[in-house]
Amino acid sequence: MTEHHLSEDAELYPLGILDDDAARNVELHIALCSDCAQRVAQAQAVAASLAAALPRAMPSPALERRLRESVRPRQAAKLRASLLPFALAAAFALAFLGLGWQALVLRERLQSDDVALVTMVHSHFNHVSMAPQSANPVAAKILYARDGSWIYIIADKPGGALHAIARTASATTDLGALTSSGETATLLAHPRERIVTITLQRAGTNVASAKLTY
Amino acid sequence: MDELVEAFAERRPSGLEQAYALWSPLFLSVARHIISDRANAEDCVHDALLRVWRAPNRFSGSREMLKGYLVACVRNEALTTLRRESRHDARALKAARLDPVPAVDAPSVDPVETQRLQGALARLPEDQRIALMLAYYGNKTQVEIAKEVDAPLGTIKSRISMAMRKLHAELASPGGNRW
Ligand SMILES: [Zn+2]
């Protein structure tokens, strides 16, 4: 569109080696001239390739959190505000379901786990009592998201270390050990695939199991 | 239009979040090559991305172009920070500028792309390759490069420009699109 297109500055600009006046001139020009904007874009792609050879640095999780809060400030605030009501609602739901003994544990767990909170606030959950197995079974219940995105296992008086084994349509995975706290042991997981059955094991013996329906 | 580019152009939060998920190691690596302090480098990435995302923009290009644009913004932000701080501490600037080309044994941001890049760089005429390497990996200004290789400024400009165009022709060729 202009008589004089950009000089070599179009290729130098993405490297950040122009002085301020020259850089500003490039910016003004490409705002109006699509030919030169195309040249600059191509040079930027080359500069990104040059960056591929730099030593790799991994960002901290805090950076992602900051960015997310910067672009979703209202949602972050809304979510925090919804923390307490949800925890209370969960506690009531559990009491209603006859699960009073873990309500407190769940509430504490929720407050300490943002990820769980985010997913739980935005989804509905199901619950199931696990069927006792073996001579020395354990009483346990499972809360899980209807979309399969999280699962929360609560065992009463575990009587030793408990392990949760999950079976999906394609594989069997060890979800790890439940964490004991007082009279209960709990485990929160975010499975990649929808879990079909959960089995709890104590010292390699099955002590409870449940089928999950969605 | 590419879904990510569209989300970014419309300034939906998911646009920035997706771009971050795809390219954050690249962004931070670019910043840390210029600013060695991790926290300051992360500040640069944060500020640059947020500024771009908030400003009205008119992206209509490919995902690759968006990536190039964002990387350029992060690099600019880092260089600006470096130059601002260097007014207070000339030695820091000198140290950063003397920082050598990346050590060979450090893992690179993208090993596959690095391999393609090294082949393309090797095929450039030597004087063009040197000028470009000093500019990009040496973080030197055009004036400094001219002094270092003892050539007129105009010559340096055209060497770098030629090198960039040749690399574009090679790297953008079929098989070069990795998305
Ligand atoms: Zn033009």
**Residue B139 in domain:** yes
Based on the fold, state whether residues B36 and B86 are members of the same structural domain.
yes
pLDDT in tens, B58-73: 667 788 889 999 999 9
Which distant-in-sequence residues (6+ apart) come within 8 Å of B178 by Cβ? B112, B113
B106 found inside a domain: no
Work out how many domains chain B is built from and give that number: 2
Interatomic CA distance for residues A72 and A79, integer angstroms? 11
Please tell me whether residues B15 and B44 are part of one structural domain.
yes
Q: What pLDDT is stored for residue B68 in this prediction?
A: 92
Q: Please give the average per-residue pLDDT across B13-40, as a whole number.
A: 93
Phi, psi of A159 (to 5 degrees): 65, 40
Reported as a single tens digit per residue, the pLDDT across B75-134 is 999 998 988 877 655 554 444 444 444 444 578 898 888 999 999 999 999 999 999 999
Are residue B71 and residue B128 in the same domain, yes or no?
no
Per the prediction, chain A carries an average pLDDT of 78
Same domain, B18 and B43: yes
Is the pLDDT assigned to residue A75 strictly greater than 90?
A: no
**B136/A47 CB distance under 8 A:** yes
Note whether A54 contacts B17, CB cutoff 8 Å: no
Q: What is the pLDDT of residue B29?
A: 95
Q: Please, are residues A189 and A169 in contact by the beta-carbon 8 Å criterion?
A: no
If asked whether residues B74 and B143 sit together in one domain, one would say no
Nearest-CA distance from B143 to chain A in Å?
9
Residues B50, B115 within the same domain: no
Does residue B34 lie within any of the structural domains? yes
Classify residue B155: in a domain, yes or no. yes
pLDDT at position B176 is 41
Same domain, B118 and B152: yes
Same domain, yes or no: B145 and B167: yes
Chain B residues 82-141 with a CB less than 8 Å from chain A? 102-103, 106-110, 113-114, 116-118, 132, 135-137, 140-141
- Closest residue of chain B to A66, computed from CA coordinates: B46
Residue B179 in any domain: the answer is no
Asked whether residue B103 is domain-assigned, the answer is no
A36 — pLDDT class (breaks 50, 70, 90): very high
* Better-scored residue on pLDDT, B128 or A81: B128
**pLDDT attached to residue A129:** 84
Domain boundaries, chain A: 9-51, 62-211
Instruction: Say what the pLDDT of residue B178 is.
Output: 42
Average pLDDT over residues B4-17: 88
Q: Model confidence over A180-211: pLDDT tens digits?
A: 877 778 887 778 888 999 999 999 899 999 99
- Res. A66 pLDDT band, cuts 50 70 90: very high
Residue A7, pLDDT > 70, answer yes
Residue that terminates a domain, selected from B38, B65, B97: B97
Q: Based on the domain organization, do B63 and B91 belong to the same domain? A: yes
Model confidence band, residue B150 (pLDDT cutoffs 50, 70, 90): very high
Residue A14 tokens, joined: 């993405």
Place A108 in a pLDDT band, splitting at 50, 70 and 90: very low
- With a pLDDT cut of 90, the percent of chain B lying above it is 55
* Whether residue B123 sits in one domain with residue B92: no
Provide the 3-class DSSP secondary structure of residue A25: helix
Taking CA–CA distances from A6, the nearest residue in chain B reads B161
Count of Cβ atoms closer than 10 Å to residue B154 Cβ = 12
Does residue B105 fall inside a structural domain?
A: no
Task: Answer with the one of B53, B73, B97 that is the final residue of a domain.
Answer: B97
B159-176: pLDDT as tens digits: 999 999 999 999 986 544
- Over the stretch A149-185, which tens digit does the pLDDT of each residue have? 778 788 888 888 999 999 988 888 888 888 887 777 8
- Across the interface, whether the CB atoms of A45 and B16 are under 8 A apart is answered no
> What CATH number is attached to the domain comprising B17?
1.10.1740
Please tell me the pTM assigned to this model.
0.61
Q: Is the pLDDT of residue B156 over 90?
A: yes
The residues, ordered by sequence, that sit 6+ positions from A114 with a Cβ below 8 Å of its Cβ are none
pLDDT above 70 coverage of chain A, percent: 74
Shared domain check, B140 and B73: no
**How does residue A90 score in pLDDT terms, banded at 50, 70 and 90?**
low
* B177 domain residue, yes or no: no
Does B45 share its domain with B75? yes
Q: Is the pLDDT of residue A91 over 70?
A: no
How far apart, in Å, are the Cα atoms of B21 and each of A46, A54, A57, B4, B16?
21, 19, 14, 11, 9
* Final residue in a domain of this structure, among B73, B97, B121: B97
Q: Which of B30, B45, B107 faces A51 most closely, judged by CB atoms? A: B30
pLDDT of A105: 47
> Which range marks the domain in which residue B140 is found?
111-172
Beta-bridge partner residues of A128? A142
CATH number (domain holding residue B153): 1.10.10.10
More confident site: A85 or B27: B27
